[in-house]
């Protein structure tokens, strides 16, 4: 922890981006493998950077990026880490992690916009529920509010989310989907 605390916020964010860059070929290979096998898939994780999508040869997969308002993201980090119960050194590390997460949240939003990837606000449960309905429509091959005219195969989905852990399981639990709507899909996380 002492090493982490000595790093600048810029360096911590840089290390995260280097980690994601190192995962890039692993993710590319996993996508290639499941596409060649004709398997259904859901990939989720912060390492699925919007700026990398073009070289992953994902075909006509549905690609979305989740975003949370900075204030809420910070609040979630503080709550989940039990910040108020920690010693000063741990609090300092949590603060650095929160800053890194906020920087990454902004970087994802900007990259998504540059790449033309749908940016979905999942700050509130209501937003997440609405986005769930829209994603289910898109995955099932219907048009929906995310992009009225586009249709995507119902079995390919890639979502990236800095600091929004386990967004899909939360949505899946709150959405009634029967097996006729969407086939069972393997889920792979990349962080």
CB atoms within 10 A of CB 86: 14
- Domain hosting 160: range is 2-189
- Closest to 91 (Cα-Cα) out of 187, 5, 189, 183: 5
Looking at every residue in the chain, the average pLDDT score rounds to 75
Question: Where do we find the tokens 């939003």?
Answer: 109
What's the pLDDT tens digit per position in 12-37? Answer: 999 999 999 999 998 889 888 888 88
What's the pLDDT tens digit per position in 54-112? Answer: 788 777 777 888 888 999 999 999 999 999 999 999 999 999 999 999 999 999 899 99
d(CA 25, CA 17): 14
Both tokens assigned to 69 = 């308002």
- Closest to 136 (Cα-Cα) out of 117, 115, 111, 157: 157
Q: Tell me the whole-structure pTM to 2 decimals.
A: 0.69
**Domains identified in the chain, total number:** 1
Q: Looking at residue 141, what is its pLDDT?
A: 62
- Closest to 48 (Cα-Cα) out of 104, 130, 131: 104
pLDDT at 137 over 80: no
Q: Identify the band that residue 144 occupies on the pLDDT scale cut at 50, 70 and 90.
A: very low
The larger pLDDT score, comparing residue 177 to residue 4, is at 4
Q: Which residues of 144-159 are buried (b: 16+ CB within 10 A; e: fewer)?
A: bebeeeeebebbbbbb
pLDDT at 181 over 70: no
d(CA 50, CA 133): 22
């Amino acid at each position: 922890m002492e090493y982490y605390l000595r790093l600048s916020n810029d360096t911590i964010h840089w290390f995260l981006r280097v980690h994601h860059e190192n995962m890039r070929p692993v993710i590319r290979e996993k996508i290639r493998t499941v596409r060649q096998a004709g398997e259904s898939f859901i990939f989720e994780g912060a390492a699925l950077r919007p700026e990398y999508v073009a070289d992953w040869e994902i075909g006509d997969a549905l690609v979305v990026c989740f975003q949370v308002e900075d204030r809420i993201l910070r609040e979630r980090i503080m709550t989940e880490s039990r910040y108020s119960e920690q010693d000063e050194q741990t609090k300092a590390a949590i603060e650095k992690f929160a800053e890194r997460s906020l920087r990454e949240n902004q970087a994802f939003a900007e990259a998504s916009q540059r790449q033309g990837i749908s940016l979905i606000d999942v700050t509130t449960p209501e937003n997440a529920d609405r986005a769930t309905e829209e994603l289910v429509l898109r995955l099932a091959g219907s048009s929906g509010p995310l992009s009225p005219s586009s249709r995507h195969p119902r079995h390919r989905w890639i979502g990236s989310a800095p600091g929004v852990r386990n967004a899909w399981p939360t949505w899946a639990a709150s959405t009634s989907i029967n097996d006729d709507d969407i086939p069972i899909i393997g889920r792979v996380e990349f962080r």
